[in-house]
Structure 1
């Protein structure tokens, strides 16, 4: 499997000599498993004048990044929906599929670091927030009947247990090094296991969704929601049983204590020793 990249192309809190916002492209490699060393991941950054902001400039920057990396990624993830058309066209013109995704964990951390340490050092820096346009999100969708799990349970694992994740038998999945989320080996990581005789088709379907995170949602009833892509979400289960409701609240509390880290696994039955699918996830606040 080739590499996956993450991209952000947006204005920064810096004004040029003409008092116009300076733009910047950030490109980095996605960490794909728990053993990835973040200091070895590819990164590329370049400022852009507001008069040059277009898909052609971005395509050229992508081509320069590919030349620097030595190979092109198999796809590029981006979280900023208002840049959808420009990023998608630039990536397509460079011959790379673009995927709206909130699974941009390394990019988010890098962007935060630059906001705190790099931009304030630039001439023309403007303190305060750099607002992003907030777009409406669609309501959660109901899962297709064929993809509903026969049974599911809340579980927890210790962060240290994920050190051996590369040795687990997993059909579909993705992870990241827990150092990225700054959790200790003793931290309890909450998760949900889904059991179904159709575990492999369910895991295959989920693998194409750009999984973002799971959450216990109380905005319209009480339910477990799977967030995917840039804005999509799916109702995994409506929760009515008092005991399950307590477990769902415990899941959210444990997730917060683990800096948003959690997981979702898909197995054929509770006795299975392999996973049709397993994803390590993190809920983070995007810019």
Structure 2
């Protein structure tokens, strides 16, 4: 909006669509997954130790994005466990992981990578309980302004991550 040629109300030159999710490449499969939450203070600690512990992942510059979150706010996330967590983390690190969303209509989790690639990351049996859990997870994301995370671990009960990505739901920009 600060660009000298900006014209408010003008139509975008190119529309980016939200493509139908594709089948996930087999090297990106995890064994198990779970919806989880961490206080923002723990999320910041995990991000700050990415380089020190040689963990795969990425953070976001929340100051640049203008996002302010209280340290006690619970940030929703997706924990993925795999017996081959390090290779999975390495493969995920090679992608531009953008966001994870719960598609309750299709009982699946959608992984968005890059500007226009979407994968069916996981599926679940559609029941009133699982649909309610997915809706609650999406509502928690919305309450945090779209902030969420993806954690890759050896085991879902582990406190250590092999990969950790801080993610943000953003609408595609008009181009």
Query: How would you bin the TM-score normalised by the shorter chain?
Result: 0.7 to 0.9
Provide the C-alpha distance between the structure 2 equivalents of 1:191 and 1:170, rounded to a whole number of angstroms. Answer: 21
Distance in 1, matches of 2:6 and 2:156, equals: 55
Q: Does 1:172 align with 2:56?
A: yes
The answer on whether the counterparts of 1:170 and 1:277 sit within 8 Å (CA) in structure 2 is no
Aligned position for 2:131: 245
Q: Which residue of 2 aligns with 1:262?
A: 148
Q: Distance in 1 between matches of 2:162 and 2:32?
A: 15
Alignment of 1:56-95 (within 5 A): none
Q: In the alignment, which residue of structure 2 is the partner of 1:101?
A: none
Give yes or no for contact 1:170–1:275 (8 Å, CA) kept in 2. no
Q: State the shift of 1:125 in Å.
A: 6.1
| Mapped partners of 1:216, 1:154: distance in 2 | 10
Q: Larger % of helix: which?
A: 1
Q: What is the match of residue 153 of structure 1?
A: 34
Q: Structure 2 length as normaliser, TM-score?
A: 0.83
SS of corresponding position for 2:120: strand
Which structure has the greater CA radius of gyration?
A: 1
Q: Which one has more relative contact order, counting CA pairs under 8 Å at least 6 apart?
A: 2
Taking the aligned partners of 1:129 and 1:158, their CA distance within structure 2 comes to: 41
Q: How many residues align?
A: 167
Give per-residue Cα distances to partners, 1:136-174, cap 9 Å, x unaligned: 554212223343211110001121223322236452100
d(CA) in 2 for partners of 1:134, 1:178 = 27
Does residue 198 (structure 1) correspond to residue 84 (structure 2)? The answer is yes
Give runs of ≥4 in structure 1 deviating > 6 Å. none
Residues in 1 aligned to 2:82 and 2:168: alpha-carbon distance in whole angstroms: 24
RMSD across aligned positions (CA)? 2.2
Q: 1:283 to 1:132 in 2, by over 3 A?
A: farther
